[in-house]
């Protein structure tokens, strides 16, 4: 059925988000979203100040057993379509059914929920897919427990690979920190992507802006609208993040140590800055829309004006030649030898006077 759906007209992101939500019993888990990779992958990393190792444990039932006092364990699950797998993992860690449901429904707004033994955080992974020319908007679910972090993503995240590299190097601060710092690092890597995405979009917007000023084309209207709706999409992903991280900062959970708080505060500043940039581009796009509309209307008016000037130039001339096309018997001018050249002179004079008047008025 998944296959047939792909052949059908693709649903818009909002619509598919809606259809995912409908009609289940609460607390009943079902994967809702697009299947993005073939096989879900579980990677387990464990480290403390002295040691880092990747543990090969694919049996979800045994995952809780790899946790070790004094070490931080990071379990990264990529691919969410295998509902049973996710459910098994979460149940072993005593995660609330509603949290599992939230992990499997990949259209959630960023949020932070506090449970007795863990914190549950949802973020949006934002990227830009150059081939498809569209925003990538996926869900990252984080569970921060005592000594471990569970991360659930729809497909393997390259930023997380970079983080793994950093984890291998004992000189980095993260090796000396607890699971709350790991959660912070994952969120930081995710928010870094927002900056990259905004940079790509920003370059495109500024290129479009320059083209718009030099040579406005009708199809630019649609491009401006596309960028506007992308900015709205980004905004919707980032806006609730502010509150989410604010809640983490103010949380009184013991899972977040006071020494990690400055890092979350820094994250908060970054989110504010992302929002700032988004608002900025929205302002720019609104200005571009104004410019576009007024340039189109100016251009049209200018065309009309020039044509009208041409028409007006010829109107008196046509009148004059009409006069001497009349068939009155007594029209003395017609008999004069210099009548014809005189009419030409008259017409040239009239034209020149008109041209001068128009030029003075700045009409062309």
Query: What residues from 105 to 144 belong to the interface with its own copies (CB under 8 A)?
Result: 107-109, 111, 113, 115
CB 237 within 8 A of CB 138: no
Residues 184 to 223 in contact with its own copies, rule: CB under 8 A: 184-185, 188, 192, 195-196, 198-199, 202-203, 206, 213, 218, 221-222
Question: Which one, 85 or 320, has the nearer CB to its own copies?
Answer: 320
State in angstroms the smallest separation of the CB of 303 from its own copies: 6
Beta bridge partners of 43: 76
> How many chain residues bind its own copies (CB under 8 A)?
111
15 binds its own copies (CB under 8 A): yes
State in angstroms the smallest separation of the CB of 190 from its own copies: 12
* Strand residues in 241-361 grouped as ranges (E): none
Residue in 1, 26, 39, 129 binding its own copies, rule: CB under 8 A = 26
14 binds its own copies (CB under 8 A): yes
In our burial notation (b when 16+ CB lie closer than 10 A, e otherwise), range 54-86 reads eeeeeebeebeeebeeebbbbbbbbbbbbeebb
Given the rule CB under 8 A, which of 64-72, 141-149, 182-190, 244-252 is the region that contacts its own copies?
A: 182-190
Residue in 58, 84, 91, 294 binding its own copies, rule: CB under 8 A = 294
Residue in 1, 3, 6, 23 binding its own copies, rule: CB under 8 A = 23
Residue in 3, 4, 132, 337 binding its own copies, rule: CB under 8 A = 337
Strands laid side by side in the 72-78 sheet: 52-55, 41-47, 72-78, 148-153, 134-145, 119-129, 111-114
In the chain, helix, strand, coil percent, each to 5?
Answer: 60, 15, 25
Given the rule CB under 8 A, which of 37-45, 62-70, 104-112, 130-138 is the region that contacts its own copies?
A: 104-112
Contacts of 30 (CB under 8 A, 6+ apart): 24, 83, 101, 104, 105
Containing H/E element for 1?
none
Residue in 161, 319, 346, 356 binding its own copies, rule: CB under 8 A = 319
248 binds its own copies (CB under 8 A): no
Backbone torsion region of residue 292, taken as left when φ is above 0, otherwise alpha when ψ lies between -120 and 50, otherwise beta? alpha
1 binds its own copies (CB under 8 A): no
Alpha-carbon distance 335 to 31, whole Å? 99
284 binds its own copies (CB under 8 A): yes
State in angstroms the smallest separation of the CB of 59 from its own copies: 26
Q: How many alpha carbons fall within 13 Å on the CB side of residue 341? A: 3
Q: Which of 264, 126, 97, 107 is nearest to 182 (CA)?
A: 264
Residue in 30, 62, 173, 356 binding its own copies, rule: CB under 8 A = 173
273 binds its own copies (CB under 8 A): yes
State in angstroms the smallest separation of the CB of 62 from its own copies: 27
326 binds its own copies (CB under 8 A): yes
State in angstroms the smallest separation of the CB of 15 from its own copies: 5
Given the rule CB under 8 A, which of 62-70, 149-157, 247-255, 312-320 is the region that contacts its own copies?
A: 312-320
Question: Which one, 63 or 167, has the nearer CB to its own copies?
Answer: 167
Q: Name the token pair of 215.
A: 């040579």
CB 110 within 8 A of CB 124: yes
């Amino acid at each position: 059925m998944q296959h047939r759906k792909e052949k059908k007209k693709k649903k818009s992101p909002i619509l598919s988000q809606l259809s995912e939500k409908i009609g289940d019993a609460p607390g009943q888990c079902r994967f809702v979203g697009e299947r993005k990779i073939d096989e879900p992958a579980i990677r387990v990393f464990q480290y403390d100040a002295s040691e880092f190792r990747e543990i090969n444990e694919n049996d979800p039932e045994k995952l809780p057993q790899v946790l070790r006092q004094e070490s931080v364990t990071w379990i990264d699950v990529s691919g969410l379509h295998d509902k049973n797998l996710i459910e098994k993992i979460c149940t072993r860690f005593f995660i609330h059914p509603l949290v599992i449901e939230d992990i499997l429904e990949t259209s959630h707004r960023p949020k932070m929920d506090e449970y007795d033994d863990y914190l549950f955080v949802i973020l949006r992974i934002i990227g830009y897919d150059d081939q498809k020319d569209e925003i990538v908007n996926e869900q990252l679910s984080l569970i921060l427990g005592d000594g471990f972090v569970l991360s659930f993503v729809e497909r393997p995240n390259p930023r997380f690979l970079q983080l793994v590299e950093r984890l291998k190097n004992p000189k980095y601060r993260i090796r000396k920190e607890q699971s709350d710092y790991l959660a912070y690092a994952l969120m930081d890597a995710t928010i870094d992507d927002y900056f990259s995405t905004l940079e790509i979009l920003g370059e495109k917007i500024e290129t479009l802006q320059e083209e718009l000023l030099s040579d406005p084309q009708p199809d630019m209207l649609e491009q401006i609208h596309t960028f506007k709706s992308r900015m709205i999409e980004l905004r919707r992903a980032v806006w609730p993040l502010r509150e989410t991280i604010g809640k983490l900062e103010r949380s009184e959970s013991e899972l977040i140590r006071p020494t990690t708080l400055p890092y979350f505060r820094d994250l908060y500043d970054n989110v504010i800055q992302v929002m700032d940039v988004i608002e900025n581009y929205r302002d720019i796009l609104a200005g571009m829309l104004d410019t576009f509309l007024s340039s189109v209307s100016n251009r049209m008016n200018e065309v009309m004006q020039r044509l009208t000037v041409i028409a007006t130039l010829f109107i008196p001339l046509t009148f004059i030649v009409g006069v001497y096309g009349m068939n009155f018997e007594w029209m003395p001018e017609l008999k004069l030898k210099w009548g014809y050249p005189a009419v030409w002179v008259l017409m040239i004079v009239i034209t020149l006077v008109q041209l001068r008047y128009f030029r003075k008025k700045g009409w062309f």
